[in-house]
């Protein structure tokens, strides 16, 4: 039997009756938009994340756009972020009219390098009279938290906001704190392949402060005021569907157990892959936990990666590259005039990284076969 990269079918077997019951509930009450499942989900996930407010929304991308709109980001603002992430992180900055400023990443965690962040903030202050430093979006890539104790003071002491892009890390902890309790606003995604995913698109924005919460609720529905036909600001249609919220409520029941299983899979990989020559397994910083949205390893160089991925493919084992082209080198950001060599750590990782199958239902035998194929 072939090994799936992510196994949503085995998961579905665990929750089938709860999912069907939840969806049936929505079909019966008929409140497809803003049904009671949404406030239920918001209450559960914000409590799980030790944060006061959760605002369900249409996707992780919507979550980031809503966060930046609520924080008043616009033209002339510089927002510092990672180039080693999914497009949405930086795209949302440009979509609200601001300018992404890319910061190199740490060679071990692949998350924002605080030292480079310090340099890039100073550089914009000193040399970019056209830009005002406004905020930082830290990304918890592959499910591992960024270095918040270093990043948060760098942002806040310079008067910048901190947004946590927890699209890949919902359920992870930084020094014991849930990642969505960090920063001024945290955003997550419920894309089906995410650690907590729905059966379509979905996301959530988390905030501690009442004022931001009210702004997010308004922005989610076209900038509504007291009622939906009073529009007091610009917003979007950023709602999550009631059916997706019902799916998430069913999946959330088994989510804590799945986090434990993901860690067990990661631990087994760590042991099995130690004997693959030239392969570097991921390291989670001391005191933190990852939810292993991806299990990404590093080859020695791009030729070695091609060779290892070829061995997997010969054994019918899927693998994938996240992310082959850093955002600063994407055509969509050509106007920012970055060139190869500008962010060397990120570029080096992008040439070497690849992801192995990772999901809570991955068995020991399959993992042993994956390790054997890599050694072969
Ligand atoms: C780091 C990161 N940010 C943002 C997003 C956007 O989330 P969505 O696909 O739900 O819009 C993703 C999704 O892949 C992501 O991985």
Contact of 293 with 194, CB cutoff 8 Å: yes
Residues 6+ apart with CB under 8 A from 188: 60, 63, 166, 167, 169, 170, 180, 194, 196, 203, 204, 206
Are residues 168 and 280 part of one domain? no
**How far, in Å, is the centroid of ligand 1 from the Cα of 158?**
27
54 ligand 1 Cβ < 6 A: no
Structural domain of 361: 255-375
Among the three residues 217, 250, 283, which one is the final residue of a domain in this structure? 250
Closest by Cα among 99, 57, 152, 48 to 327: 99
Q: Is the pLDDT of residue 372 over 80?
A: yes
What's the pLDDT score for residue 376?
85
Among the three residues 196, 229, 250, which one is the final residue of a domain in this structure? 250
Q: Is the pLDDT of residue 114 over 70?
A: yes
Are residues 270 and 236 part of one domain? no
Contact of 353 with 321, CB cutoff 8 Å: yes
CATH number of the CATH domain containing 359 = 3.90.1150.10
Q: Would you give the DSSP letter of residue 136?
A: E
Does any domain span residue 212? yes
369-376 mean pLDDT: 95
Are residues 212 and 271 part of one domain? no
Are residues 285 and 225 part of one domain? no
What's the pLDDT score for residue 2?
83
Are residues 344 and 263 part of one domain? yes
User: For residue 64, which atom of ligand 1 is closest to its CA?
Assistant: 4
What's the pLDDT score for residue 82?
98
User: For residue 190, which atom of ligand 1 is closest to its CA?
Assistant: 10
90-114 mean pLDDT: 98
Q: What is the pLDDT of residues 4-30, one digit of tens each?
A: 999 999 999 999 999 999 999 999 999
Number of domains making up the chain: 2
Q: Is the pLDDT of residue 69 over 70?
A: yes
Does any domain span residue 1? no
Q: Is the pLDDT of residue 368 over 60?
A: yes
What's the pLDDT score for residue 1?
57
Share of the chain above pLDDT 90, in %: 98
User: For residue 85, which atom of ligand 1 is closest to its CA?
Assistant: 1
CA 235 to chain CA centroid, Å, is: 23
Are residues 201 and 219 part of one domain? yes
Helix (H, G, I), strand (E, B) or coil at 54: strand
Does any domain span residue 340? yes
d(CA 89, CA 166): 10
Are residues 142 and 48 part of one domain? yes
Does any domain span residue 2? no
Among the three residues 250, 285, 313, which one is the final residue of a domain in this structure? 250
Q: Is the pLDDT of residue 106 over 80?
A: yes
287-312 mean pLDDT: 98
CATH number of the CATH domain containing 162 = 3.40.640.10
Does any domain span residue 275? yes
């Amino acid at each position: 039997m072939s090994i799936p990269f992510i196994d949503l079918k085995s998961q579905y077997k665990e929750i089938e009756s709860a999912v069907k019951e939840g969806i049936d509930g929505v079909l019966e009450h008929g409140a497809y938009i803003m049904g009671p499942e949404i406030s239920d989900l918001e209450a559960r996930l914000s409590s799980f994340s030790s944060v006061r407010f959760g605002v369900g929304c249409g996707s992780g991308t919507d979550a980031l756009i809503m966060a930046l709109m609520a924080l008043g980001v616009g033209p002339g603002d510089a927002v510092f972020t990672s180039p080693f992430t999914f497009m949405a992180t930086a795209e949302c900055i440009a979509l609200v009219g601001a300018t992404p400023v890319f910061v190199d990443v740490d060679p071990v965690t692949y998350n924002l390098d605080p030292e480079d962040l310090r340099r890039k903030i100073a550089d914009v202050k000193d040399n970019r009279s056209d830009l005002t430093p406004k905020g930082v979006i830290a990304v918890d890539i592959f499910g591992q938290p960024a270095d918040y104790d270093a990043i948060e003071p760098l942002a806040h002491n310079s008067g910048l906001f901190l947004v946590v892009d927890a699209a890949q890390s919902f359920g992870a902890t930084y020094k014991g704190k849930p990642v969505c309790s960090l920063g001024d606003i945290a955003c997550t995604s419920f894309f089906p392949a995410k650690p907590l995913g729905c059966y379509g698109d979905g996301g959530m924005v988390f905030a501690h402060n009442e004022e931001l919460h009210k702004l997010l609720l308004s922005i989610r529905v076209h900038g509504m005021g007291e009622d939906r036909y009073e529009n007091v600001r610009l917003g979007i249609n950023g709602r999550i569907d009631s059916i997706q919220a019902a799916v998430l409520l069913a999946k959330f029941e088994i989510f804590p157990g799945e986090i434990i299983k993901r860690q067990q899979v990661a631990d087994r990989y760590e042991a099995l892959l130690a004997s693959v020559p030239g392969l570097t397994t991921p390291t989670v910083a001391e005191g933190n936990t990852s939810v292993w949205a991806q299990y990404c390893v590093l080859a020695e160089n791009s030729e070695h990666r091609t060779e290892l991925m070829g061995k997997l493919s010969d054994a019918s084992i899927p693998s994938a590259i996240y992310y082959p082209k850093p955002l600063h080198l994407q055509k969509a950001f050509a106007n920012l005039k970055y060139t190869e060599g500008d962010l060397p750590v990120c570029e080096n990782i992008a040439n070497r990284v690849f992801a192995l199958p990772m999901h809570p239902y991955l068995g020991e035998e399959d993992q042993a076969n994956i390790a054997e194929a890599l050694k072969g």
